[in-house]
Structure 1
Amino acid sequence: MSTPLADTTNPDLDLLYAVNGLAERSPAWLDHTVSWIGEYGILLGLALLGLIGWLQARRRPDAPVAVAGLLWAPIAVAVAELANLPISAIVDRPRPFVDHAGLEVLVEGKAGTYSFVSDHSTMSMGIAVALFLVNRRLGWIAGVLALLQGFCRMYMGVHYPTDVIGGFALATAVVLLLAPIAMAVLVPLCHAIGRTALAPLIRAPQGGSGGSGGRRTGGRRRGGGSRGAVRADEQPPESDLAA
């Protein structure tokens, strides 16, 4: 299929044709791989990063705050997706292949849905920004995956570049603007859960030979052990959301 000349007065369309043109020139196996990654793979990778972040957060001195920040990630994504419902209806933008011929569309069933903003881009960036506030290393990795998600959506021919940028902006705004309100609720909730039988979800269990056991035995063990535990608990929170 020959790609028609893009409208040089429309950078949004120019970039879409440039990225999607790679799909036309690529082997079928690569197109299938990118389609799977753009539709499912990146979201699964972000979920795995969230799991790793949770396992690490449980071992931090500020575990309830860190876990609350991770819990905010899926909630923020859900809020952003709900906010996108009226936005999509108001903008009422068809998928790019509906109005422009010559695009290589790699997934089916998208014709009847809105193009602006990209749901996949919104979800990916929402997780990335929320994760960055808790664990910067994992957040950077998630941010790269979010950018790759945007590229894949254009490669697949289902979104304009501005759909992707709009999704990134929406997710970032929701995560950052609503984080103080969310954390005001989630941090006390995580502290409360930490005092129940579900405490291992919030803080990793400590070794059986330390902690309170050391305080009940000899004086030297009791004195050094308890003071060390207090100092660990009193370390300043590592999470940016704790401020």
Structure 2
Amino acid sequence: MTVSARRLRSVTMDFEDAELYRDITGFARDTPTWVQHTAETGTEAGLLLFAALFVTTWWRARGDSARAFAIAVLAPLATAVAYVCSEVLKSLVTQERPCRAVPDATAPLSACPPPGDWSFPSNHATIAGAAAVAVALTRRTLLWLTAPLALLLAFSRVFVGVHYPHDVAAGLAFGALVAVTVVRLSTRPATRLAEAMRTSSTPAVRWFTGPGPARVPSYDMR
């Protein structure tokens, strides 16, 4: 593909994304007031729910294997790493927010972030994608809860008018990728650490890691 063709394709994609942004924000303005208020507060509420899931999975993993416990503890760490990586990427791309860059767009429901607070990728979507995958790695069945929650949280950022659709799509994928990478690379050393902590002489450390799986007592049948 030639440079001119790539540039034309990029311009076309940007135009289509801006049009989709206008359509979503226009639709958002026509929704009932309670929907708008829910969307504005829903992002932070979603992040709090993910935080509660981190605590819940950690608590349950205290009675599980050292490996399961290690993954549960790595989940919030992997999410934090994804957020930092997202911040670095934003500072490199420096894409302006659509609430300032898209002409003739409906006024956003949320206040447009100040100049210098770049748009790509969405930090909230990155955190949501990372948290959804990291929590699901502790217990696969939780993906039925975390995936829709992450998608809803990401969409809300476009709905309130502070991100393009491609910002949140990239954020979800980027966050998920970073989370999987961090957990996969760290599980083995974290498991060894968890095993050592469970035999610690410090009560607080043993309480944090939990006792592990309950041992079934063996009886001498002789």
Which TM-score tier does this pair reach, normalised by the shorter chain? 0.7 to 0.9
1:22 maps to amino acid: F
User: Which of residues 108, 115, 122 in structure 2 aligns to 1:118?
Assistant: 122
- CA displacement 1:122-180 (0-9 Å, x = unmatched): 11110111111110122331111100011100101001111001111211221222323
Q: What SS class does the counterpart of residue 39 from structure 2 fall into? A: helix
Q: What SS class does the counterpart of residue 131 from structure 2 fall into? A: helix
Taking structure 2 as the reference length, the TM-score comes to 0.82
1:30 maps to amino acid: V
Structure 1 window deviating more from structure 2 (75-84 vs 118-127): it is 75-84
1:55 deviation in Å? Answer: 2.5
Change (3 A) 1:103 1:72: farther
Change (3 A) 1:19 1:52: same
User: Which of residues 14, 18, 24 in structure 2 aligns to 1:19?
Assistant: 24
2:209 maps to amino acid: I
User: Which of residues 164, 175, 182 in structure 1 aligns to 2:179?
Assistant: 175
Q: Is the 8 A contact 1:128 1:140 kept in 2?
A: no
Q: What SS class does the counterpart of residue 220 from structure 2 fall into? A: helix
Task: Give the structure 2 partner of residue 239 of structure 1.
Answer: none
Q: What SS class does the counterpart of residue 106 from structure 1 fall into? A: coil
1:51-90 map, 5 Å: 51-60=55-64, 62=65, 64-90=66-92
1:17 maps to amino acid: R
Structure 1: 5+ residue runs without aligned partners? 1-6, 216-221, 225-243
Structure 2: 5+ residue runs without aligned partners? 1-11
Cα distance in structure 1, aligned partners of 2:83 and 2:49: 19
1:33-182 map, 5 Å: 33-38=38-43, 40-60=44-64, 62=65, 64-100=66-102, 101-108=104-111, 110-112=113-115, 113-182=117-186
1:93 deviation in Å? Answer: 0.5
1:158 maps to amino acid: V
Q: What SS class does the counterpart of residue 23 from structure 1 fall into? A: helix
Change (3 A) 1:71 1:29: same
1:47 maps to amino acid: A
2:220 maps to amino acid: G
Cα distance in structure 2, aligned partners of 1:146 and 1:9: 24
Change (3 A) 1:206 1:89: closer
Task: Give the structure 1 partner of residue 220 of structure 2.
Answer: 223
Structure 1 window deviating more from structure 2 (98-107 vs 143-152): it is 98-107
Q: Whose Rg is larger?
A: 1
Structure 1 window deviating more from structure 2 (92-101 vs 79-88): it is 79-88
Q: What SS class does the counterpart of residue 10 from structure 1 fall into? A: helix
Q: Is the 8 A contact 1:121 1:168 kept in 2?
A: yes
Q: Is the 8 A contact 2:22 2:106 kept in 1?
A: yes
Task: Give the structure 1 partner of residue 7 of structure 2.
Answer: none
Task: Percent identity, please.
Answer: 28
2:136 maps to amino acid: F
RMSD of Structure 2 on Structure 1 (CA): 2.4
2:114 maps to amino acid: A
Task: Give the structure 2 partner of residue 191 of structure 1.
Answer: 195
Task: Give the structure 1 partner of residue 3 of structure 2.
Answer: none
Cα distance in structure 2, aligned partners of 1:133 and 1:206: 19
